[in-house]
Amino acid sequence: MASKIHGVLTALITPFKDGAIDKKSFQKLIRRQLDEGVQGFVINGTTAESPTLTLKEARELFEIAKTEVGGKVPLVVGSGTNSTATTCELSREISQWKPDAVLVVVPYYNKPSQRGLSAHFREVARAATVPVLLYDVPSRTVAALAPETVADLSREKNIIGIKDATGEMSKLAKIREQAEDDFIYLSGDDATCVDYFIGGGSGVISVSSHIIAREMREAFVTAGKDPKAASAVYKAKYFELMKWLFIEANPVPVKMALHWMGVIDSPEMRLPLVPLDEKFHKDFKACLKALGKLN
């Protein structure tokens, strides 16, 4: 199934209610996503509020998703931390759940060198018994993977691809020039994901797909036929949505939107995140109404 990691994958939020996981809302969300044509899911990622989830809760979410998905699409689980030893331990444990891959973020706060990043990911790749996806998101981690480091890691037996949230098309081009031919490239930046796909990407791990999954799939299909038109239409139509979905830290806005849409019962967050500031509600709702997502 790891070879089928492509197209539109949703980085799932975690619905909470009274401090606990809201299982019914989570099931409802997954079913709606499958109906919209989503091609895979990431569980226990940043969008899931992974820093506040216990390992037991992450497994509970995975088991619910596994049951709902029934093998139809790949399931990826986040296992990255800023400690190599802890990441290896988590990756070993999560590998036993049999996901299709683990998603491993660049260690945050430590600011490792490229040599340190290379050593970190090699250790994790040896610890995990399922495929590893690198996750480069310097807006959250400070440190970033250089194209040469990614290309070198693509030759590591168990590292199969990258989620690239930099939005830098030149970086994609540089990596593709040097990396292994079967390496998987997934955008982690919704605003530029169509351009990333046009530039040789395999798909996107998305937040926006909670709201516009079908539309994103259609944009990728159009991009294969008319790249310029697909890029222009996507940017023009969804620029406002992207702005509102990241007006506060992800996943604060998307959880509020899903609540307004009746997909999840509550927009509850876990501290230190709190629900979307009311000053944004009116205009955000207007954006969703204009897209036909709210009555």
DSSP string, 119-135: HHHHHHHHH-SS-EEEE
Task: Categorize the per-residue pLDDT at 198 as very low, low, confident or very high, splitting at 50, 70 and 90.
Answer: very high
In angstroms, the CA 81 to CA 176 distance is 27
CATH architecture assigned to 2-225 = Alpha-Beta Barrel (3.20)
Which pLDDT tens digit goes with each residue over 27-55?
A: 999 999 999 999 999 999 999 999 999 99
Judge whether residue 144 has pLDDT over 70.
Answer: yes
Q: Provide the whole-model pTM.
A: 0.96
Q: Which residues are catalytic?
A: 135, 163
Judge whether residue 160 has pLDDT over 90.
Answer: yes
Per cent of the chain over pLDDT 90 is 98
CA-wise closest residue to 73 among 167, 201, 172, 209? 209
Which pLDDT tens digit goes with each residue over 66-97?
A: 999 999 999 999 999 999 999 999 999 999 99
Pairing of strands 16-17, 7-11: unpaired
